Every structure is written in C-alpha cells, then in structure tokens.
Amino acid sequence: PRREGEILVVDVGGPVTVVSFASLDLDSFFPRFAFRRSFATLGLNQIYVRDFDFSWYQRGLKYTRGGFEGALRLLQGQIDDLGAPAVAIGASMGGYASVLYGARLNLAGALAFSPQTVLDAETRAGMGDHRWPKAYAKLDSRAPRPFDLRQELAGSPLPVTLWCGQDDPLDVAHAEQIAGLANVRLHMLPAKHDVPHMLRDGGTLRDAILDFIIGLPGIDTDAVEALRARAPQALAAVLDD
C-alpha cells in the first residue's frame, strides 16, 4: 500500500480501480476508510479517501492543497498511475462524494448507498433533514453553496447505481431528487439508513458491487467475473463502514 495524506492507495494490478469515499464519523478524529476489508482480497485496485473536515468533500481534502480542484487533481493522478478504469463507491456522505467526484473525474460509474443528494440549507429544511446539526451548520457557514447532485448529473453521462432503504423517509427524499434522471438506476429495499450493512448481513454486498461494475461501459467483464469466481463468499460478510 502507498499512503498519501488522507488517502490510501492499494495497487494489486487489478482490472478496475475502486475509489472508496468514507462516510461521516463525528465520533472519531480519524474517520475510517470505507469498505476496506470488503475489498482487501477481491482483486481490485483501491483508493480510499476520507474527509477530516466532515464537509461532504465540498472543499476537497483538509490537508491537501488546492481545495476541491486540488483533490480532483490528486485523485486523477492516482487513478492514472494505476492504469485501470475507475469507479467510485460510498455510503451516506461517501455516497454523495462518489457521485460528485465520479462526475467530475469522468469515472466509469458511481455506486452510492443512502446518499445525500442536495445539501443547501433551504432544500434540507424542506425535507426536514436535520440529522447532523453540527456538520450541517459547519457546511452552511461556509461559501460557496454546496454542490447539487441534480445539477452535476444533468451535465454528466456518469452511470449511477443508487441503493436506498425505503424505511428511511429522508433517504427516500434525497434519492427522489435524482432518481428520475436517465443515467440513475435506483434499487429500493426494506431497510433504513444502513443499507450496506443489510446487504452484508444477507451475503449480497459483494455481488451488488461486482454486478454494478460489470454493467459499466469500458469494463473488462470477463476479468471481473473471474474475480467473482475466485473471491471467497466470506468477503461479503465484512464491512468496516
């Protein structure tokens, strides 16, 4: 593994690179890298990213120069070095980032579990979304206005697979903001905000991830299917997000 500031890069010579964005973790100064154990022996290159500022990656990475554009340049350089098509993945705040950065970096696709999709104060208030008041207050106190995934996807061909728990009204409200777009595929299931954990517990997380990757343009389908056949089913039972 190669470490660079707020990212961890793991090059295994895989046919696909997964850029995994960590979710909000207000209880820890060091937010955990997301899905790290799930990808550990799956045969895919990995770039793990975490936002120490807890600002939905709006301002890039706290200890990387250049703000949002600097984070884009850093990740693009790492993706280029790995030399494989790249996808983004994340849950909640990380799901928001997977779509935002996936669109800006022209990645092959984005997989988002229970993401927020619109972060401006007015729209959140209309939804009744007050789940993380301290983090939201910090976000609202700074310019510029948060990126709106509706606008990001309206000008991007990025294929997005969105998983949402139908028992969480706020997650449903966020999903509905982008679900009608042609490049968004929505999966609803009986769950609340912890969709990845539910898939993990049901033994279907690994296949959900691989099915998403295999369906994308520019992906070596045979190479990814070979990874599926080789990987132990036990990988689906481990998630550290």
| Angle ∠(67,94,64) on CA atoms, nearest 5 | 25
Beta strands, E only, the chain: 2-4, 7-10, 17-21, 45-49, 86-91, 109-113, 160-165, 184-189
| Helix ranges (DSSP H) in 55-114 | 67-82, 93-104
Average pLDDT on 23-36 reads: 76
pLDDT at 40: 77
At 236, is the pLDDT very low, low, confident or very high (cuts 50, 70, 90)?
A: very low
pTM of the model: 0.92
